């Protein structure tokens, strides 16, 4: 069971259940990741700036790129294509031929890598058609594993990218139980207005530990003057976040009141997530000390950013605009968090849960303007002698 009992959830268990909905079905991540595509597009200028700087300062025989937390679906190779386009343009401006390239796609072992593999032939064909024989060759490789540990050899990577992954923690924080074993975050599945201070402290400590470990591992893998571009879902006030996860918690509370799930099952469940502020991110980067912080941008997007396609209900009746937008939000959230929720609450309640979640999203969006806070971070690896 994915729960907090007498001990913390082990890191290995989180790695086993933390993955997006696979395949290409209605609630798959592949068909419900347009919000992430909007974020990638907004972060693209910073990504291009960082890639150009690396190309101008690092001259490897083979240029190695990693996309950490790549997931699966249309966005996975979109990021890689953007990086390759920028590399080509940079080398072309200096009348040079780009070196051979390796693109490593990383995610946890439960990720749907098969969907990625099936898309590679068309990806290679597009590269050849658009860039010709003077570009590359480019080799795409999967690298399963947690980015909270080592993934690559020492001083082997030149460009590292990650989008919408680092807000996932390696495990649920310690310290969410009292000395008598009572759940301290009752009725919540993340930090909320009703969470005691000790809950925030536990989450914040786990974030610092994980992000510090991430930076340390990458510092050993990235070459001097290599670049990292990280996009993280953040918050303005991490100890009192306006967070869509809180609305899932409210929907689960509704189901407790209706005796569909047990209150104890909800009280003992906490999501392995943390949405940091810009200052919290800066603090860890400065304390860890392996990277120069070149830029940290903050932008917000509405929950329904990326909504465009008409959505119909299951009985094919056309829904009104509010219902369509609420369903759009509910479907992409479900594609991301359903595997973890299934582990705790079982698969049979998922349709009921997300029907209630959809209703609450529609209600919340009608009352106020909800936004996702995003942090885009550009880092450069310090020289080895620094």
How far, rounded to the nearest angstrom, does the alpha carbon of residue 92 sit from its chain's CA centroid? 32
Q: Pick 337 or 28 by higher pLDDT.
A: 337
Lowest mean pLDDT, pick from 199-213, 229-243, 279-293, 301-315: 301-315
Question: Does the residue 4 lie in any domain?
Answer: no
Give pLDDT, residue 5. Answer: 38
Q: Please report which residue ranges of the chain form alpha helices under DSSP H.
A: 11-17, 34-57, 74-93, 113-131, 197-221, 244-257, 263-267, 278-288, 321-345, 350-367
Residue 157 — very low, low, confident or very high, per pLDDT cuts 50/70/90?
very high
Contact between residue 281 and residue 270 where contact means Cβ atoms under 8 Å apart: no
Give pLDDT, residue 308. Answer: 74
Taking only the tens place, the pLDDT of each residue in 108-125 is: 888 888 888 988 999 999
Cα 339-340-344 angle, rounded to 5 deg:
115
Residue 315 makes CB contacts below 8 A (sequence gap 6+) with none
Q: Which letter does DSSP use for residue 168 in this model?
A: B
The percent of residues in the chain predicted with pLDDT above 90, rounded, is: 53
- For the chain, how many structural domains are there in total? 1
* Residue 220: CATH number of its domain: 3.40.50.150
Q: Pick 271 or 315 by higher pLDDT.
A: 271
Taking only the tens place, the pLDDT of each residue in 144-156 is: 999 999 999 999 9
Give pLDDT, residue 102. Answer: 95
Question: Does the residue 1 lie in any domain?
Answer: no
Question: Does the residue 6 lie in any domain?
Answer: no
Give pLDDT, residue 367. Answer: 85
Instruction: Supply the pTM of this predicted model.
Output: 0.89
Q: Is the pLDDT of residue 319 over 70?
A: no
Contact between residue 245 and residue 189 where contact means Cβ atoms under 8 Å apart: yes
Output the average pLDDT for the chain. Answer: 86
Residue 44 — very low, low, confident or very high, per pLDDT cuts 50/70/90?
very high
Lowest mean pLDDT, pick from 30-44, 82-96, 184-198: 30-44
Give pLDDT, residue 6. Answer: 37
Question: Does the residue 332 lie in any domain?
Answer: yes
Taking only the tens place, the pLDDT of each residue in 83-107 is: 999 999 999 998 888 999 999 999 9
Question: Does the residue 5 lie in any domain?
Answer: no
Question: Does the residue 2 lie in any domain?
Answer: no
Question: Does the residue 30 lie in any domain?
Answer: yes
The percent of residues in the chain predicted with pLDDT above 70, rounded, is: 88
Question: Does the residue 386 lie in any domain?
Answer: no
Structure tokens at 53: 């700087």
Taking only the tens place, the pLDDT of each residue in 47-90 is: 999 999 999 999 899 999 999 998 877 778 889 999 999 999 99
Considering only CA atoms, which of 213, 338, 186, 208 is closest in space to residue 274?
A: 208
Structure-derived torsion over alpha carbons of residues 347, 352, 353, 358, reported in degrees to the nearest 10: 140
The range of the structural domain enclosing residue 247 comes to 14-381
Give pLDDT, residue 177. Answer: 86
Contact between residue 213 and residue 171 where contact means Cβ atoms under 8 Å apart: no
What whole-number distance in Å separates Cα of residue 157 and Cα of residue 145? Answer: 16
Taking only the tens place, the pLDDT of each residue in 3-24 is: 333 344 454 455 555 555 555 5
Q: Is the pLDDT of residue 234 over 90?
A: yes
Taking only the tens place, the pLDDT of each residue in 345-376 is: 888 999 999 999 999 999 988 888 888 999 99
What whole-number distance in Å separates Cα of residue 250 and Cα of residue 231? Answer: 28
């Amino acid at each position: 069971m994915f729960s907090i009992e007498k001990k913390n959830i082990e890191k290995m268990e989180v790695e086993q259940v933390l993955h997006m909905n696979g395949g290409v079905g209605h609630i798959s991540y592949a068909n419900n990741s347009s919000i992430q595509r909007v974020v990638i597009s907004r972060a693209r200028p910073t990504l291009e700036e960082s890639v150009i700087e690396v190309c101008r300062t690092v001259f490897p025989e083979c240029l190695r790129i990693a996309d950490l937390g790549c997931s699966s679906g249309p966005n996975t190779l979109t990021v890689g294509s953007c990086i390759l386009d920028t590399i080509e343009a940079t080398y072309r401006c200096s009348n040079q031929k780009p070196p051979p390239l390796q693109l490593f796609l990383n995610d946890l072992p439960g990720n749907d890598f098969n969907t990625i593999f099936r898309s590679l032939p068309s990806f290679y064909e597009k590269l050849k058609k658009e860039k010709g024989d003077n570009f590359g060759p480019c080799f795409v490789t999967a690298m399963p594993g947690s980015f909270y540990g080592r993934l690559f050899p020492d001083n082997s990577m030149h460009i590292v990218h990650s989008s919408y992954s680092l807000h996932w923690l390696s495990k649920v924080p310690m310290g969410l139980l009292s000395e008598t074993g009572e759940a301290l975050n009752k009725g919540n599945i993340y930090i909320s207005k009703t969470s005691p201070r000790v809950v925030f402290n536990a989450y914040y400590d786990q974030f610092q530990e994980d992000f510090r470990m991430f930076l340390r591992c990458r510092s050993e893998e990235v070459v001097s003057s290599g670049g990292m571009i990280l996009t993280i879902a953040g918050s303005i006030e991490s100890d009192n976040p306006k967070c869509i996860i809180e609305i899932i918690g409210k929907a689960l509370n509704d189901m407790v009141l209706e005796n569909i799930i047990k209150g104890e099952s909800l009280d003992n469940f906490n999501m392995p997530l943390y949405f940091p502020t810009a200052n919290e991110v800066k603090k860890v980067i400065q304390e860890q000390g392996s990277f120069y912080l070149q830029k940290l941008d903050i932008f917000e997007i509405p929950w329904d950013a990326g909504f465009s396609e008409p959505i119909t209900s299951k009985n094919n009746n056309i829904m009104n605009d509010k219902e369509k937008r609420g369903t759009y939000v509910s479907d992409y959230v479900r594609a991301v968090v359903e595997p973890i929720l299934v582990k705790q609450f079982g698969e049979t309640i998922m349709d009921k849960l997300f029907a209630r979640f959809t209703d609450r999203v529609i209600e919340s969006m009608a009352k106020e303007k909800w936004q996702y806070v995003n942090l885009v971070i550009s880092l450069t690896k310090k020289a080895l002698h620094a």
